[in-house]
Structure 1
């Protein structure tokens, strides 16, 4: 089913929300769903310009939805990059700032990330159900960001992982907070420390993925979920809101962990930074092959 054209009551093209550089936003009035696809410049990671787009996206949604709150029921985030949802943090930037001993820059990057996640966790203050569609691998910060969504739909076989321990670091932008609440402290700590890759099927068994889809059928699975849940939207949203109250993740907690992460980053050795940069090189070499395969 193609995106439904915006009607005269919702002139999407005139709002800055629909003109972001690295986020493609489409409004489907019939389903009440605002679809967003990441299309990052270069590597499929959270570069600073993409983070700025996410802040503008959230502000834009809050502004654009004013007066039509009852119509905007679902917020869906996916990726246009073939085979990848997100590879997470900007490792090139991290290595540069670590060598420069620029702790403030590392903290600013982390705080930018957790503010986006915290606001998403609370549905931007709107009566939304947030849905992440994972059609490719979600690693590091890509995995972390998913856990701020109410519903995760993933295609079978895609990989999830927290590989930061490969270069002596840990995922400092939400993983500890979200995984501890979902899995318990012991299992969360083990997942963070061992860096094991997990399939969507594994994640479904753990309860971290909510809907499994066959390869290539992820978008259909999201649409099926929306169709099934539309009549119960208010109840679902209320349950997600209640669960946040029962076990809240505060911005202060997320910021405190970012500070720990920044300090740990500055303790990395040169050989750790070289491993980080080799990983970036491997990701860069993978990019052309993935793009060619998608053509």
Structure 2
């Protein structure tokens, strides 16, 4: 079994935990490293900043890459949930303020990150999402941006934004349409229901489904298999980025539609959002207890 060694702790991350293999070929990023404090396991701006900073730090330019060297990036979570989605507390406040600039800045920051995952850090990285708890909204969008989704049985996965009159605007439709038919992608989004990881696997959204507790081993096995034929996976990355690319400008234009839709929400929808915030907060406190 491949050994995972901790990265230099002097990086000083407070919301994420990062680990790497001894050969520096596989990087693991665990969201919500501060879950024990009772914070909601969602896409808070401070965590996104630390995530993207780490991802940028391990990105290599074409001249820095070793010929034929394939790397891996695994996106996982230290919380009981994988990620419950966007920062609804921030959304609610910015929408009530009518603050389009800040809402768009948050959305654009999300788009930058998922696009980086989607393109494999420029081409030499295979990205893997390891889902060991509920993945909702923006959390699921991050997983959908990865090359491979490994999920344990019994996880909830869904895009519940329609519950408060919105839609998932940080890549869900674009990435889902690369995995399932557009009609099914729209159904998943517009129903707003939470599916089981078993259902998502049957639909083709989840690539690898494993029993609870076996997710890490499954990811490690995938990495071993990929490293047997690294040049093939590097070529597949290049082909994928040509034939199945989701363009950054596409993601950005869709997220602008999301921003405008969010700012048009009425108070009734915002009260629904507030109730979801309270439910997430209660869950986070219970998990931390």
Taking structure 2 as the reference length, the TM-score comes to 0.91
Q: Show CA shifts across 1:93-119 (max 9, x none).
A: 000000000111111111000001111
Higher relative contact order (CA 8 A, sep 6+): 2
Inter-partner Cα distance in structure 2 for 1:117 and 1:56: 13
Alignment partner, residue 39 of structure 1: 32
| Distance 1:4-1:107 versus aligned 2 partners, 3 A rule | closer
Inter-partner Cα distance in structure 2 for 1:146 and 1:87: 12
Contact kept, 8 Å, 1:164 with 1:195, in 2: the verdict is yes
Contact kept, 8 Å, 1:135 with 1:218, in 2: the verdict is yes
Per-residue deviation, 1:73: 1.6
Q: Show CA shifts across 1:61-87 (max 9, x none).
A: 1269985656662111100002x0001
| Distance 1:243-1:65 versus aligned 2 partners, 3 A rule | closer
The correspondence for 2:223, drawn from 221, 226, 236, is 226
Per-residue deviation, 1:4: 4.0
Alignment partner, residue 173 of structure 2: 176
Unaligned ranges ≥5, structure 2: none
| Distance 1:243-1:223 versus aligned 2 partners, 3 A rule | same
Per-residue deviation, 1:29: 2.1
Per-residue deviation, 1:123: 1.3
Inter-partner Cα distance in structure 2 for 1:274 and 1:178: 29
| Distance 1:64-1:2 versus aligned 2 partners, 3 A rule | farther
Unaligned ranges ≥5, structure 1: 7-11
Inter-partner Cα distance in structure 2 for 1:154 and 1:34: 18
Per-residue deviation, 1:249: 0.9
The correspondence for 1:77, drawn from 51, 75, 78, is 75
What is the 5 A alignment of 1:129-208? 129-208=126-205
Contact kept, 8 Å, 1:162 with 1:196, in 2: the verdict is yes
RMSD: 2.2
Q: When the two structures are aligned, how many residues end up with a matched partner?
A: 284
Taking structure 1 as the reference length, the TM-score comes to 0.89
